[in-house]
Structure 1
Amino acid sequence: MTVDTSSAGDAGVRAEAGELALAAAVAAGEAVLSRRFGSSITLVQPEHLEGSGPATVVRARVVSSSFALPRTLVVKHYPDPAVPGRADPFAQEAVSYQLFTALAPDERMCPELLAHDGRDRVLVIEDLGRAPTLQDKLTARDSRAAERALLSWARSLGRLHAGTAGREADFHALLRRLGGPGRIEDPDLAAETTEVPRMLSGLLGVTVSDPVRERVATAVAQARSAAFGAFSPVELSPDNNLVTGSGVRFLDFERGRVRTALIDAAYLRLPFAFWPDALALPAGMSEAMIAAWRAEVVSVWPSFADDAELADQLTVSELLLVWRITRRVLPTLDLTRHATPLSREAALVTWWRELAKHAGYARHTDVAEHAARVAAALGARLGPHADLAFYPAFR
């Protein structure tokens, strides 16, 4: 009898590679700390922290030293070199933390950067401990705690925007110092105006009118505009946010950049829509989150004090957000069977229905009618139960 040991062998190789990556991250962290403080610093008891990006992330304890370092810290090591001509996640994250470290502690909304080095491609940041993530709050069974966490997230997002408004030149100057591009552009924006109409026509039989195409073009121009520019983590998913005693803190800036804050604000209407596990929130929750965000930014952007102006701007951004989700998700869906309430099929139907509702409120009649047609076409294929379920905290 032949025994298949390939799985065990592959697991052993992965484990060994993981140990080597962990050791490399610790060594890089010790090196940059030693250079930063001018004396040898040793890190012990390394703990690998899961992450979805290219970095090896490690929590480690600092051996007693004469420096005012915390007892534990987090090392993020990017072992792969930058690819010329492409965005560099190490540079974007390092510059993001540098931008925040220059702010007052109550304006940072993220861990403090303790040291970084472009040669070793490593960052050492403050350890915020074992605080729950926003995802933990949404998947638990405490609706009050989840509501408080969402409002804290919205306030933190507003404070992040207000604290970094008008800092685009600073961000790009820091990025160039680390060898990054002069500007970070979204290469997919141009495709939004051409690919989605073909998808909607070919897969759903819904034609996109010229007025709606013009609305999308306006949304793309808004996304490219420097108006309301502020820092964005870009990766707005609940597993990238820690719920601490001082409020929600953002993690993972590997795609961090300066862009119009209205792109992020659209996520207050369709929270975490690009996250694969995104679910629905109860009535009124998004409106409360928008109010919390607006309270933080209105001193920087006074026009947002006008309800009609804010609704108009948010609807334009929401249209682009739904458009982009459709471009990414629609070709992957199974439109031949009924959707379950936890599926991406149900999520897409819900996002289009929400867009129709909000566009109606903002008197964007052409968008509202188009969104209602798309939602109806999706619902006709996906069945009567294509309503997205609430997060467990709100069931």
Structure 2
Amino acid sequence: MTVDTSSAGDAGVGAGAEHLAVAAAVTAGESVLSRRFGSAITLVAPEDLAGSGPATVVRARVVSSSFALPRTLVIKHYPDPPEPGAADPFAQEAVSYQLFTALSPEERMCPELLAHDGRDRVLVLDDLGPTPTLEDKLYARDSRAAERALLSWARSLGRLHASTAGREPDFNALLRRLGGPAKSDSGGVDELCAEVPPLLQERLGITVPDAVRAQVTAAVEQSRAAGFRAFSPVELSPDNNLVTGEGVRFLDFEYGCVRSALVDAAHLRLPFASWPDALALPAGMSEAMIAAWRAEVVGVWPAFTDDDVLATHLTASELLRVWLITGEELGSLDLSRQSSPVSREAAFVTWWRDLAKHAGYVRMPAVPEFAAKVAAALAARLGPHADLAFYPAFR
């Protein structure tokens, strides 16, 4: 591959660096494929897919091969090793794909891993093609298509959890083999939880009752319990999910780990809350997504056939998710002006208000009154438009 880096100016330098990164990814991909299949394999027509993480992500076409390779492949190249002692996103992603590639195609909720190499820090994946993402469906103007995509996402998430329940030892063994230090999904949780009461006092003048603190502590303990553990992509943003004819498929496992599936299931109540552009879903959509997820997991976790048990666990996870996001973001919210219906400020009002409702359903001590108080205090500062808007597909 010939790379032209002769352009002058900052734009030329940036473009040249991108071309070099793409060329390096293609070279690494060819190298690992050739070692994997024992014969030279040439890749052409690289397309930079502009990954948002530390990897260079490239789609390339296979010139010719006597092997049963797809016509196009996706290469993820991690050129830079992690800091000493830090979690390695290459190792996390490689092990995540290895875990799924060992499953049957029906259980594999992601592209197939075709080759990987720890020396070149490269993954070669099956290319699912220019498939729309869940984000595309939510921002289009077809409410039925968006509804189908959301239910498919919930089913795929449940199938992902069900197929990897009990496989934590396999995940950890694969991670050790690649030399990646285990990444704890609960790192910093206690410290962040402790920051929320002073933040609420400082920004809203609200004191957290001891009973609410106890419920948060119980929710943290639930998230660390041995039960209901399964693989999690961690990054559950809708732009990381492809809507295929076989259902939603997950991408980007740079933070993949094994943790309580209920941490992921909180997103069924707070759809994609960790995503900066998260908006609201219409009434009944969340409940339908929960039903779709539950249908996939009750075979491995029969306790969730009981409506009360499921609602109690989901509400605890919802409480913890809202609490942690408050710790992360409340300090940076602008509470001095009226909010837009698509703002993060409006999202906070809606999430706290929904938490009050759901905690009331399961009779969670002190939380309904407290959550309603927080929502009201936020709404009083943000004005009459402090309700989160629906995704465009549902407007």
Per the normalisation by structure 1, the TM-score is: 0.97
Q: How does 1:223-372 map to 2 (within 5 A)?
A: 223-372=223-372
Residue by residue over 1:342-381, the C-alpha shift from the partner in whole angstroms, topping out at 9 and shown as x without a partner, is 1000011111011011101111141111100100110111
Is the CA contact (8 Å cut-off) linking 1:75 and 1:124 kept in structure 2?
yes
Is the CA contact (8 Å cut-off) linking 2:192 and 2:328 kept in structure 1?
no
Is the CA contact (8 Å cut-off) linking 2:131 and 2:243 kept in structure 1?
yes
Is the CA contact (8 Å cut-off) linking 1:173 and 1:182 kept in structure 2?
no
Residue by residue over 1:135-181, the C-alpha shift from the partner in whole angstroms, topping out at 9 and shown as x without a partner, is 00000000000000000000000000000001111101100111112
Report the Cα distance in structure 2 between the residues aligned to 1:109 and 1:219, rounded to whole angstroms: 28
Equivalent residue for 1:76? 76
1:132 aligns with 2:132: yes
Superposed displacement of residue 105, structure 1: 0.4
Equivalent residue for 2:3? none
Aligned-residue RMSD, C-alpha: 1.1
Q: Secondary structure at the match of 2:346?
A: helix
Report the Cα distance in structure 2 between the residues aligned to 1:183 and 1:381, rounded to whole angstroms: 39
Report the Cα distance in structure 2 between the residues aligned to 1:185 and 1:311, rounded to whole angstroms: 23
Equivalent residue for 1:116? 116
Is the CA contact (8 Å cut-off) linking 1:193 and 1:213 kept in structure 2?
no
Superposed displacement of residue 186, structure 1: 2.6
Paired residue total: 389
1:48 aligns with 2:43: no
Equivalent residue for 2:65? 65
Superposed displacement of residue 329, structure 1: 1.5
Q: Secondary structure at the match of 1:111?
A: coil
Report the Cα distance in structure 1 between the residues aligned to 2:114 and 2:11, rounded to whole angstroms: 35
Equivalent residue for 1:93? 93
Equivalent residue for 1:21? 21
Equivalent residue for 1:208? 208
Report the Cα distance in structure 1 between the residues aligned to 2:376 and 2:303, rounded to whole angstroms: 35
Equivalent residue for 1:4? none
Q: Secondary structure at the match of 2:366?
A: helix
Q: What are structure 1's unaligned runs of at least 5 residues?
A: 1-7
Residue by residue over 1:260-285, the C-alpha shift from the partner in whole angstroms, topping out at 9 and shown as x without a partner, is 00000010001100101100000000
Equivalent residue for 1:147? 147
Q: How does 1:121-200 map to 2 (within 5 A)?
A: 121-182=121-182, 184-200=184-200
Matched AA of 2:244: T
Report the Cα distance in structure 1 between the residues aligned to 2:390 and 2:182, rounded to whole angstroms: 42
Q: What are structure 2's unaligned runs of at least 5 residues?
A: 1-7
Runs of 4+, deviation exceeding 3 Å: none
Superposed displacement of residue 187, structure 1: 1.6
Superposed displacement of residue 191, structure 1: 1.2
Matched AA of 1:67: F
Residue by residue over 1:174-203, the C-alpha shift from the partner in whole angstroms, topping out at 9 and shown as x without a partner, is 001111124534322111331001100111
Report the Cα distance in structure 1 between the residues aligned to 2:200 and 2:118, rounded to whole angstroms: 45
Q: Secondary structure at the match of 1:268?
A: helix
Structure 2 vs 1, CA of residues 274 and 182 (structure 1 numbering), >3 Å: closer, same or farther? Answer: closer
Report the Cα distance in structure 2 between the residues aligned to 1:35 and 1:184, rounded to whole angstroms: 33
Equivalent residue for 2:4? none
Is the CA contact (8 Å cut-off) linking 2:132 and 2:242 kept in structure 1?
yes
User: Percent identity at matched positions?
Assistant: 76
